[in-house]
Amino acid sequence: MKFSVIIPVFNEEKTILKLLERLNQTKIENIEYEFIVINDGSTDDTKNLLENNKNLFSTLINNNKNSGKGYSVREGLKIAKGDYIIFQDGDLEYDPIEFKKFIRVCREFDADVIIGSRFNFSEYTKSHSILNKIGNYFLTFIFNILYNTTFTDIYSCYLCYKNKLLDYNELKTSGFEQHAEILCKVVKKGKKFYEVPISYNGRTYEEGKKIKYYHIFSIIFRIVLERFKKNLN
C-alpha cells in the first residue's frame, strides 16, 4: 500500500522543515510513501529551504509564480502514484502524526474516502472564530443532505481517498472550492466512507490564515453543482 502526500506551500519558511521532519516520523513498516511538495512561487526562504533539504521529501515542484492552492494541488495530483491520496497543508495547523489513523482505517476497512474531523472527539482543537465554525457546520450540513452522508467536518484539510476514484483532468476549479469539488467527486464514486478524529491548531488571519468568509458562496455552488451535474448534462 502506497500513500501520496500532496503538500502545497506558499511562504511557509517558519514551518516547512518541521512539517517534513514530522511527516518522516510518521512512517510505518510495510507502507510506502511519496511526499510531493509544490512550492507555489514563495517569496520568502521556502524555496531555498526545500532545495537544501531534498532528503526530506520525494519530489519538489516549483511553480514559476503564485498560482493558488488549487493549481498546486493539480500539479501534485498529476504525478501522484500512490494507492491513496492525502493532503497536507504546510502551516502545521494539522499534525502529520494523525496519518497513522488514516493508514489503519485504509488497512482494516479498505476505505474509499476518509476525512479527519476536528469536531469528533479530538484530543485538542484550538478555539477559533465562531463564524468559521458556523460556516463549516453549514457546509457540512448541506453536503450531508445532498450526498446522503454523515460527516462532521467536510472542510478539514485532511482528506484521504483512493487515487483511482479521481482523474485530475476532471477537476474544473482552482480556488478554495476545489476541496469541495474533489470531495464531491470521490464520494459519488466511492462506497466506504469514514471519519477519524484529529487535533487542530488553527491559525488566525493575522498569522496567515487564507480562506475567507465569502468563499462559502463558491463552495456551496460547487457542492450543489457537482451533485446534480449528471442530470444537467
Measure the CA–CA gap between 104 and 87, rounded to whole angstroms. Answer: 17
Q: Using alpha carbons, list the distances in angstroms from residue 220 to 31, 155, 215.
A: 36, 12, 9
pTM: 0.89
Q: Into how many domains does the chain fold? A: 1
With CA atoms as reference, report the closest residue to 110 among 50, 38, 191.
191
Place of cell 475567507: 212
How confident is the model at residue 29, as a pLDDT? 84
Predicted confidence pLDDT, tens digits, the chain (233 residues): 999 999 999 999 999 999 999 999 988 889 999 999 999 999 999 999 999 999 999 999 999 999 999 999 999 999 999 999 999 999 888 889 899 999 999 999 999 999 999 887 656 555 566 677 788 899 999 999 999 999 999 999 999 999 999 999 999 998 889 999 999 999 999 999 999 999 887 655 455 455 566 778 999 999 999 999 864 44
Q: Is 146 helix (H, G, I), strand (E, B) or coil?
A: helix
Range(s) of the domain holding residue 41: 2-232
Place of cell 482552482: 174
CATH number of the domain that residue 44 is part of: 3.90.550.10
